[in-house]
Amino acid sequence: MRINKFLILICAGFFIFGLTLPAQSLTNKPLFETEFIKVVANEKFPEDLESEIFVGPKGSPYFSTEGTANRLKAVRLESMGTGPVVSMVQKEGETNSYILYLFTGNAEGFFDLNVDGIWDVKKTPTQNQKNFILFKGEWLAVDKIDGLLSKAPTAKSGDKQYLFQGAWKSAN
Q: Which long-range contacts (CB under 8 A, 24 or more apart) does 125-134 make?
A: 131/155, 133/162, 133/164, 133/168, 134/167, 134/168
Regarding whether 76 and 1 lie in a shared domain, the answer is yes
Which one of 90, 123, 154 terminates a domain?
90
Q: What is the pLDDT of residue 146?
A: 94
Regarding whether 1 and 83 lie in a shared domain, the answer is yes
C-alpha pair distances (Å), 105 with each of 9, 34, 60, 78, 159: 22, 29, 14, 11, 33
What predicted TM-score, i.e. pTM, was given to this entire model?
A: 0.62
Q: What is the pLDDT of residue 82?
A: 58
Regarding whether 140 and 60 lie in a shared domain, the answer is no
Residue 37 predicted with pLDDT over 60: yes
The average pLDDT across 24-36 equals 61
Regarding whether 126 and 170 lie in a shared domain, the answer is yes
The average pLDDT across 5-24 equals 39
The DSSP string of 121-164 is EEEE-SSS-EEEEEETTEEEEESEEE-TTSSS-EEEETTEEEEE
Residue 139 predicted with pLDDT over 90: yes
Answer yes or no: is 101 within a domain. no
Residue 51 predicted with pLDDT over 70: yes
Q: What is the pLDDT of residue 19?
A: 38
Which tens digit of pLDDT belongs to each residue from 65-120? 787 777 777 777 776 665 677 888 888 876 668 888 887 766 678 999 988 889 99
Collect all residues with Cβ–Cβ distance below 8 Å to 61 and sequence separation of at least 6.
55, 77, 78, 79, 80, 83
Q: Which residue has the higher pLDDT, 139 or 90?
A: 139
The average pLDDT across 7-34 equals 47
**Helix, strand, coil in percent for the chain, rounding step 5:** 10, 45, 45
- What is the count of structural domains for the chain? 2
Q: What is the pLDDT of residue 169?
A: 95
Answer yes or no: is 77 within a domain. yes
In this prediction, residue 132 has a pLDDT band, given cuts at 50, 70 and 90, of very high
Range of the domain at 169: 106-172
